[in-house]
Each structure stands twice: as structure tokens, then as C-alpha cells.
A = this chain, B = another copy of it.
Amino acid sequence: MSTPTALPKTKRGVERRAQILSAAETVIGEKGFTAASIADITREAGTAQGTFYIYFASKEEIFRELVLEMGRITRTIVTRAVSEASDRLQAEQDGLRAFLRFVAKRPSLYQIVEEARFVDPDAYRAYFTSFAKAYESQLAAAAAAGELRPGDAEIRAWALMGMAKTLGERFVIWEAEPDIDRVVDEAFALIRTGLEP
């Protein structure tokens, strides 16, 4: 059922596992978890169906793996983008842009994280909570340093994450030719100075 499958021990095994994982990203990202069958995944990977179960205990397990991968990548990308900023407001703008570019590049992983809400709620929560924790402490530090207007860092973190998520969906995923810079500029203006005239 959920015996955590051991990692492969040969070079070939490592490659096969990666092939299958990548195929799963493609297929599940396109068709969704339920519609994507193991047969679809192994066909995409170019292996027999049984091979799947050498590397993953279940369809759920490979899915969780994809969510974890997505978490690692997103955090890395955003952290790197933000680390070069001179102040916190600049970091907000850079982070948003990096995130939206990532969504444009890997829309499938974006889809997968959202579907995790239903397929693997714990993984979903962990993904956002771990992101939010880091985000929150950055915001709190910046506010304490007077770089931001005072305010609740936790609520801000989630509000800003939600904004980014939905902008990514609407203006990147749904758009044939996303204009990321325009979205970043407008959204950042809102984040920076608000709606009040």
C-alpha cells in the first residue's frame, strides 16, 4: 500500500526512475491526477506498466513526490531571485516576477500543486505552509527594520501568496502569450501603495 519504495541501486535504475517521474509530471500536469492512468505514464516514459511499481508504491506516491519536487524548485527559484534585492519592496517585485516566469516555464507543476489539495491535502498544506513561514519571517523582519509599514506578517504573507497564485493562473496559464512584466508592474503598484488615492 504505502511501503516507501527504496531508491534505485544501479545507474539504469536511477535513469528509469527519473524517466517515469518526468513522464508523470507531463501526463498528470496535462490530464490531471484522476484522468492520468499508470498506462499513460508508462507509455509516455517508454516502459512497461509493471516497471512503474519497481520505483513507486502507488500513483499517490509518485504524485506526492512531484509536489515535493515542486516545493523545492519554487523555493529555490524565489529565494534566489529575492536574495539579490536591495530592499524588501524590491524583493517583492523580483519574487513575483520570478514566480510568474516559473509558472510560464513549468505550468504542469503548477497544476499538480493545486490538485494536491484534493489528492494529498497534507502535501498541499505542507507546500504552502513551509513557503508561508519563510515569507512571513522576511516580512516581519522588514517591518521591524522600518522597510515596510507595520502590519501582521502572517496575514500579509498569505494574502500576497494568494495574489501571486491567482495572477499566475489567470495571466500566465490562461494566456497564450503572457505579458509577465505588465502583470508584475501593475500588481506591484497595488502591493506597494494600495488602492487609496
Q: Does A32 contact B (CB under 8 A)?
A: yes
Contacts of A160 in B (CB 8 A): 163
For the residues of A in contact with B, the DSSP-based class is helix
- A171: B residues at CB distance < 8 A: 155, 158
**Does A53 sit within 8 A of B, measured CB to CB?**
no
CB distance from A47 to the nearest CB of B (A): 26
Contact A192 B196 (CB under 8 A): yes
| Interface residue stretch chosen among A65-73, A74-82, A110-118 | A110-118
Residues of B within 8 A of A187 (CB): 155, 159
Is A146 in contact with B197, judged by CB distance below 8 angstroms?
yes
| A152 touches B (CB below 8 Å) | yes
Say yes or no for A9: interface residue by CB 8 A criterion: no
Q: Name A184's closest neighbour in chain B (CB-CB).
A: B155
Smallest CB gap from A121: residue in B: B32
A88 to B147, CA, bound (A): 28
Closest 4 CB pairs of A and B: A162-B166, A194-B194, A155-B186, A193-B194
Known A-B contacts: A34-B118, A128-B170, A163-B163. Give 6 more (CB < 8 A): A88-B195, A118-B118, A155-B183, A159-B190, A165-B166, A193-B193
